[in-house]
């Protein structure tokens, strides 16, 4: 199959499944656009979606009861249909389609749940792309079937006969409405989907004065709340807000809001303060700066070019294999590490191999409020499944990338950060932070990003302090022991576990 662009449409509640399907498709030679990964911060959200749907060869809709009800998903499907982009309906959960969704999906390729659903997905993508027509979407169902192949296409819909009958009924209803006139329309119970579609039209067509007055008052009320920077509802958060969510070191965690996705009802947050001092990854030899009987602390041995030696003496800067990623995403009382654990000799002072995972002190409800996110980071020579110099992982908690530092600037938030009191009290390397603050006369400290510089195999970026004039980041060996951790995550704006800070 030639390289093609696939747009994946889904409800945010099925993000983990969307990432799974995205990975499967891309592992088979196609490229995907998935909003949770590929939207660029700071650019207009709707424009990016429209541009990427327009550039796609096909859309894969992950159909569930949530995506069926999502106005966000409906707009994507409507746009794809109107621009004659074929759609493959991947049925993750069988449900009764809304009227609007039924109309748009009636003639497209359907994949019902089965043991080989993913394999059939590739076949369906290939089929719809290679049979793509320039005819309008609705015209396809009126086209006369002249051969058996056309009959097979009709069989791919949930029920060809039922759809034809449905169209006849729709036509009859339209005729009846035209004959009876608008006087009878007010007696029908409003259809949520029709209400949504109507809201995108000119408000002057709404003849319900009481409704207009109520909407006007509601808008004024919302404006007042916005002007005073007070959320109008539980999930009305703004970029730059400080929220409280979860706990660590027996302290509630304060977070800054970096991005808000109103459509998917989620927001990106990063801890306001440095929560802990930890290494990024331990030396794989088990002894920092020592390997195969050679001491690499000495001046004559310190500069090493051999990549295997560097990983063994100073750690691996591949985010997907890092100790810090494992710890951040664990809710276990005792974390299991796949490779060298961050114990005392492998990392120096701030070892954490016996510490509970970062999410251990989060409640079940708090953990459920965190969205799984596909995270992109730079690969290195020892990376697995590298894709164009990138490694993709699915994480609940992650460190910011170098590029994502721009989100702080866009939000008007300083990149500099101080550690919490709990962080200072639990810092095993007392000489590190204490020595720096007394020398530099400041409380801000260095903190890790997940990115490496693309050159060294054992160094990653750290965000510097105001002490380093002219720099935002530097690189440091990932096994160094005393740099700060500022976790980031996408969370549910509707969660009762999140609150605005006083």
CB 36 within 8 A of CB 9: no
Q: What whole-number percentage of the chain has pLDDT above 90?
A: 45
The per-residue pLDDT for range 136-182, each reduced to its tens digit, is: 323 222 233 333 333 333 334 444 444 445 555 555 544 444 444 43
Separation between Cα atoms, residue 487 and residue 335, nearest integer Å: 17
CB 396 within 8 A of CB 374: no
Residue 1 has pLDDT above 60, yes or no: no
Mean pLDDT, residues 496-500 taken together: 96
Separation between Cα atoms, residue 101 and residue 255, nearest integer Å: 38
**Looking up tokens 């300083």, which residue turns up?**
414
Q: If you write DSSP's letter for every residue of 16-72 in order, what string do you get? A: HHHHHHHHHHHHTT-EEE-HHHHPPTTS-HHHHHHHHHHT-SEEEEEE-HHHHH-HH
Using CB atoms within 10 Å of the CB of residue 220, give its burial: 0 to 12 exposed, 13 to 18 middle, 19+ buried. exposed
CB 447 within 8 A of CB 486: yes
Question: Comparing 253 with 19, which gets the higher pLDDT?
Answer: 253
Lowest mean pLDDT among 29-33, 61-65, 113-117, 149-153: 149-153
Question: Comparing 485 with 154, which gets the higher pLDDT?
Answer: 485
β-pair type (499-500, 58-63): unpaired
Q: Which residues pair with 290 in a beta bridge?
A: 295
Separation between Cα atoms, residue 75 and residue 71, nearest integer Å: 6
Question: Comparing 122 with 325, which gets the higher pLDDT?
Answer: 325
| Structural domains for the chain | 5-143 (3.40.50.10140), 242-500 (no CATH)
Mean pLDDT, residues 91-101 taken together: 86
Best-predicted range by mean pLDDT (97-111, 123-137, 303-317)? 303-317
Separation between Cα atoms, residue 112 and residue 491, nearest integer Å: 31
pLDDT value of position 384: 79
Task: Report residue 321 CA to chain centroid gap.
Answer: 20
Under the banding of pLDDT at 50, 70 and 90, the label for residue 2 is low
Residue 239 has pLDDT above 60, yes or no: yes
Q: If you write DSSP's letter for every residue of 96-127 in order, what string do you get? A: PPPHHHHHHHTTSEEE---TTHHHHHHHHHHH
Under the banding of pLDDT at 50, 70 and 90, the label for residue 435 is confident
CA distances for 69 relative to 126, 196, 267, 471, angstroms = 28, 11, 21, 48
| Residue 268, φ and ψ in degrees, nearest 5 | -95, 130
| CA nearest to 267, candidates 358, 367, 363, 371 | 371
Question: What is the helix (H) or strand (E) element at residue 276, kind and residue range?
Answer: strand 276-277
Residue 300 has pLDDT above 80, yes or no: no
Tokens describing residue 56:
């796609």
Separation between Cα atoms, residue 195 and residue 344, nearest integer Å: 62
Q: How many other CB atoms are there within 10 angstroms of residue 301's CB atom?
A: 14
pLDDT value of position 235: 54
Across the chain, mean pLDDT equals 79
Mean pLDDT, residues 474-478 taken together: 90
Question: Comparing 48 with 193, which gets the higher pLDDT?
Answer: 48
pLDDT value of position 484: 96
Mean pLDDT, residues 225-243 taken together: 65
Model-level pTM?
A: 0.57
Under the banding of pLDDT at 50, 70 and 90, the label for residue 303 is confident
Separation between Cα atoms, residue 373 and residue 497, nearest integer Å: 19
3-state secondary structure 430-496: HHHHHHHHHHHCCCCECEEEEEECCCCCCEEEEECCCCCCCCCEEEEECCCCCCEECCEEEEECCCC
pLDDT value of position 171: 56
Residue 337 has pLDDT above 80, yes or no: yes
Question: Comparing 467 with 498, which gets the higher pLDDT?
Answer: 498
The per-residue pLDDT for range 376-401, each reduced to its tens digit, is: 898 888 887 666 778 889 999 999 99
């Amino acid at each position: 199959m030639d390289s093609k662009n696939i747009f994946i449409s889904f409800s945010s509640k099925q993000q983990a499944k969307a990432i799974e399907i995205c990975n499967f498709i891309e592992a088979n030679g196609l490229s995907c656009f998935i909003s949770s990964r590929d939207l660029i911060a700071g650019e207009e959200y709707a424009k990016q979606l429209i541009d990427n749907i327009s550039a796609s060869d096909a859309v894969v809709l992950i159909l569930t009861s949530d995506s069926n009800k999502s106005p966000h998903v409906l707009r994507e499907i409507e746009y794809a249909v109107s621009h004659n982009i074929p759609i493959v309906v991947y049925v993750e959960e069988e449900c009764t389609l809304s009227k609007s969704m039924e109309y748009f999906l009636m003639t497209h390729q359907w994949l019902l749940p089965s043991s080989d659903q993913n394999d059939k997905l590739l076949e369906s993508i290939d089929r719809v792309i290679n049979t793509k027509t320039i005819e309008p979407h609705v015209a396809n169902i009126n086209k006369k079937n002249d051969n058996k192949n056309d009959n097979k296409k009709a069989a791919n819909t949930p029920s060809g006969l039922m759809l034809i009958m449905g169209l006849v009924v729709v036509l009859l209803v339209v005729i009846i409405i035209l004959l009876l006139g608008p006087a009878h329309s007010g007696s029908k119970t409003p259809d949520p989907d029709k209400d949504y579609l109507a809201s995108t039209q000119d408000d002057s067509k709404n003849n319900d004065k009481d409704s207009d007055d109520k909407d006007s008052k509601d808008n004024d009320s919302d404006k007042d709340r916005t002007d005073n920077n007070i959320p109008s509802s539980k999930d009305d958060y703004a970029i730059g807000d400080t929220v409280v969510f979860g706990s660590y070191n027996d302290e509630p965690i304060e977070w800054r809001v970096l991005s808000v996705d109103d459509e998917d009802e989620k927001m990106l947050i990063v801890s306001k303060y440095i929560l802990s001092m930890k290494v990024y990854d331990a030396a794989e030899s088990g002894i920092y700066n020592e390997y195969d009987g050679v001491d690499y602390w000495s001046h004559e041995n310190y500069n090493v070019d051999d990549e295997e030696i560097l990983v063994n003496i100073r750690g691996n800067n591949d985010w997907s294999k890092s100790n810090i990623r494992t710890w951040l995403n664990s809710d276990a009382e005792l974390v299991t590490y796949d490779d060298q654990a961050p114990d005392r000799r492998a990392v120096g002072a701030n070892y954490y191999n016996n510490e509970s995972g970062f999410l251990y002190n989060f409640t079940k409800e708090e953990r459920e409020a965190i969205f799984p996110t596909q995270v992109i980071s730079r690969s290195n020579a020892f990376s697995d499944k590298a894709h164009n110099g990138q490694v993709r992982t699915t994480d609940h908690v992650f460190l910011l990338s170098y590029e994502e530092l721009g989100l702080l600037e866009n939000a008007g938030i300083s990149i500099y950060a101080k550690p919490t009191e709990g962080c200072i009290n639990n810092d095993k390397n007392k000489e590190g932070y204490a020595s720096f603050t007394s020398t530099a006369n400041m409380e801000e400290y260095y903190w890790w990003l997940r990115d490496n510089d693309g050159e060294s195999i054992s160094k990653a970026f750290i965000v510097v302090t105001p002490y380093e004039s002219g720099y935002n980041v530097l690189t440091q060996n990932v096994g160094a022991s005393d740099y700060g951790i500022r976790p980031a995550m996408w969370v549910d704006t509707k969660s009762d576990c999140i609150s605005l800070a006083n």
